[in-house]
Amino acid sequence: MTAAMVPDIQTLRIGVLCGGASPERPGSIASGEHASKALTDAGISTDLIDVADIPLSALQGRIDVALLGLHGLGGEDGKIQGALETARIPYTGSGVLASAIGMHKPTFKNLALKEHLDTPRWVMIDPQVSVTHTLSVVRHSIGFPVFVKPSSGGGSLAAGIAHDETQLSRMIEAAHAEPYAEYMVEEYIQGLPCTVGLIEIDGRVMTLPVLDVETTREFYDYEAKHDPTLRTEHCPSILPQHMTDSMKYMARRVWRMIGAHGVLRVDFMAGANGRVTILECNTLPGLSARGNLATMAKASGISYPALIQHIVRTAFTKPAYLP
């Protein structure tokens, strides 16, 4: 369906899907509530749906399109996208394949390397091998400090910096108590966290201004992401233009690389030595009115209500078949 054939969203029943059982549930609830209010205030029929309470099979006939405000496991990893495809309910965001690639960081990073895109070195934590062996691999292939995080997770949950082998050993042991099945150890890049948003508007992909974040925390962790007193955002970024131009260029390449659709956010680290490296991508960026995507859109002259409506329309511009 072309941009000219997108239905008038004022005539649609829009289901805003949020919540679920992911560790990122609180952020998802916020995304859903903010997006739902923006649509309702615009006079659009909206149904706020917590997918933890309602089976997807119950959505057929109840909604015309799904605006995905889901985060994390089960929400942005391709699973709910596949279910909605099967139910023939149009939905926002990327398809099954791009969602799965974007969620699984090692797969994403392997593709980035094949595309000659800079991404921090990493090793996987294999639960089948001893912690001693893992420490040896990290010591010889990466060195310290390192950053430990789930292979499929976001929001900086269950993540942190290990400055030496003792700290890394403790973090590996502690990981067993977390809800994530797989972890990775990544080269730690000292620098300024940045992000670039991309959104399809009227059939064309628009690259939003770079947003950078300074924080008083050791890194841009969960607390800093949810407490504005712990961070200072700049949008447009305070970085030199050649660095922000590089990020925008790489973000567009990531869009094509994974086959993204509708909306995407790509996270970077701007190193103190001028290095620009890709950390990960997010196929379902947060939809909070105060979130990164909304901030970048505002810097481009796009209001929050308009942003949400643009995203809804992209559910109808997918190709007839999207892997």
Binding-site residues, please? 267, 280, 282
- Looking only at the bridges linking them, the beta strands covering 146-150 and 183-187 are antiparallel
3 state SS of 299: helix
Locate 168 and state its tokens.
């890394």
- DSSP assignment string, 169-192: HHHHHHHTTSS-S-EEEEE---EE
Q: Which of 21, 30, 38 is nearest to 285 (CA)?
A: 30
Burial of 11 per CB tally in 10 Å (0-12, 13-18, 19+): exposed
List, in sequence order, the alpha helices (H) in the chain: 25-41, 79-87, 96-103, 105-114, 131-141, 165-175, 222-226, 241-258, 292-299, 304-313
Q: Which helix (H) or strand (E) holds 231?
A: strand 231-234
CB atoms within 10 A of CB 317: 17
Distance CA 62, CA 80 (A): 17
Cite the annotated binding site for Mg(2+) by residue number: 267, 280, 282
